[in-house]
Structure 1
Amino acid sequence: MKKLSFHALFCTFLCAFLLVSWRAMSQEVEDQKEFDYNEEGKRGPSHWGDLKREWHSCKAGLMQSPIDLLHERVRIVPHFTNLKTEYKPCNATLKNRGHDIMLKWGEGAGYMEVNGTRYFLKQFHWHSPSEHTINGRRFALEAHLVHQSPTGSVAVIGVLYKIGRPDYFLSKMEEHLEEVSDTQEDKAIDLADPSQLEMLSSLYYRYIGSLTVPPCSQNVLWTIVRKIRTVSPEQVKLLRVAVHDDSDTNARPLQPLNDRKIQLRVKS
């Protein structure tokens, strides 16, 4: 019985350790000091996988993001009803991570639900130009809504923007963005409403990929909204100016599809 108890205890400890380690590995890097987006430098995207052992997936992973959502690769799935979002106003913190601007939500900001699994909203951040492309076309901006399930699984909703009318959510954030551009301090925001991102659409791309920054953890469930939103040139510029780096972009280059399936799901 003692051996059995020890074995059971060891297995429990090992499973807990692996789960905690996986969760830690799945989180995006909060600080850009150790990587950048300069393709000609030693810390650029093509070198991310060599900079740290735990970033090896950036180089060797076969399910990396972003990708081109090429029409010829897409399989249409009709009667799609398994995506649900439920967001509500919640306190948040605007943080300059050096490589991007992140809006980190407190508890209670809401969730997305896919096939019965709830992924709770953790943060927004923005990439310019867009990281994903559609049929080879790159857009001015891409927002990522990062969610996590209670077991540590990650799901991201991507929203693409072209130049046009100002985005409503970013218009409400402009004053705060200007403040974090001049300081290293985080900015607390009372009752920010994630539903104001206005991402509702009847068409969604769906595929399995990775985080687009180190550690490039895989098995991330990606949902890319097919409807293209608009953003003003000034808003895109403000997001770039606010970031504390010297890059003209914070978009990772496209990654190989490697025979992965891309679905265009129709929400009825």
Structure 2
Amino acid sequence: MAITEKMDARGGDASAIALLLLLLCACFLTTLACDGNGAKFGYSGSLGPGHWGGLDPNFTRCAMGTYQSPVDIKTREVAYNPMLGPLHRDYTAANATLVDNIFNIALRCEDAAGTVQIDGVKYKLDNIHWHSPSEHTINGERFAVEQHMVHFSEDGNISVVSILYRLGRQDPFLMQLQDKLSELYVEACRAEKGAPIPAGVVSLWPLRSYANMYYRYVGSLTTPPCTENIIWNILGRVREMTMEQAAALIAPLEEGYRRNNRPTQPLNGRTVQFYGRFWKKKRNGTP
């Protein structure tokens, strides 16, 4: 299935390297990432992804799970499913807070920020966080940044909407957070990390577009405890952000967490589905 032309992957690894070079003067902290129980994990060495499964009894799924994320999406092997329909997302403006989680930067939504509807079930947006470079890849191509929008249903199930970014034009959504990310960076460079930074009212409307083409599969969280049965939706259109915006998303993190992507995991027989509103007509050669 040739969908590659729709996924403009320019500046993948090169973009990631460029934005990391921009941070040579950033402060260096030594704090290790911890989950809610205080168990440590990292992205290199003895605490890296290859060792997560043995770091804590709650992390065994990271090593033993068969439905793990992220994955490499091979566009010629995905299954076109017109029954999926456009990804219905209903976002608005909401009060939010920027948080340095040690292993990533997150925007926590304090108010009802909106929902995504999956198979007739509404999932409420809880937080947005970023990985650099991207965790998911398309035909082996890695992108500069990946944004995860984490949603919860009323019964506790999770669905993530993923947006891939290359370096280029300014991203209007991130423009709202520019000053607050700078404040978070200042806090991170102090001897002790400060409190979360209130971001005020943030409009999520710029994130509602480009839902007419996406990939879906069942996977896991990409950080410990690597919980499975997560519904992933990776938007098919790669967006852009500037190098400065990409750098701001990792500047507050200590050196060992500025490259915070888990390696891709085997599909183990899973099928990645694809929905594209205009794809079928193009495949049949009709206008």
Same structural fold, with TM-score higher than 0.5 when normalized by the shorter chain: yes
The equivalent residue for 2:196 is 186
| Structure 1 residue runs without a partner (length 5+) | 1-27
Does the CA contact (< 8 Å) of 1:82 and 1:113 recur in 2? no
1:44 corresponds, among 38, 45, 48, to 48
- Secondary structure of 1:182's aligned partner: helix
Candidates 209, 213, 237, aligned match of 1:203: 213
Structural mapping, 1:20-169, within 5 Å: 29=35, 34-38=40-44, 41-78=45-82, 80-81=84-85, 83-169=87-173
Q: Secondary structure at the match of 1:120?
A: strand
Q: Aligned pair 1:243/2:253, yes or no? A: yes
Match of 1:230 among 219, 240, 247: 240
TM-score of the aligned structures, taking structure 2 as reference length = 0.79
Alignment CA distance shift 1:30-1:235 (3 Å): farther
Equivalenced residue count is 239
Report deviation, 1:82: 6.0
Indicate the larger mover: 151-160 or 197-206. 197-206
Which amino acid in 2 is paired with 1:200?
Y
* Counterpart position of 1:176: 180
Cα offset, 1:132, TM superposition: 0.3
Question: How many angstroms does 1:101 deviate by?
Answer: 0.5
* Paired position in structure 2 for 1:9: none
Higher helix proportion (structure 1 or 2): 1
Map of 1:12 onto structure 2: none
Secondary structure at 2:251 match in 1: helix
One-letter amino acid matched to 2:235: V
Q: Using the alignment, how far apart are the partners of 1:124 and 1:60 within structure 2?
A: 27
CA–CA distance in structure 2, aligned partners of residues 79 and 219 of structure 1: 21
Superposed CA RMSD in Å reads: 1.9
| Unmatched tracts of structure 2, length 5 or more | 1-33, 188-193, 279-287
Q: Percent of pairs identical after alignment?
A: 37
Structure-1 separation of matches of 2:39 and 2:62: 17
Give, in angstroms, the shift of residue 30 of structure 1.
6.0
- The answer (yes or no) to whether the contact 1:79–1:266 under 8 Å persists in 2 is no
CA contact (8 A) 1:181 1:241 kept: yes
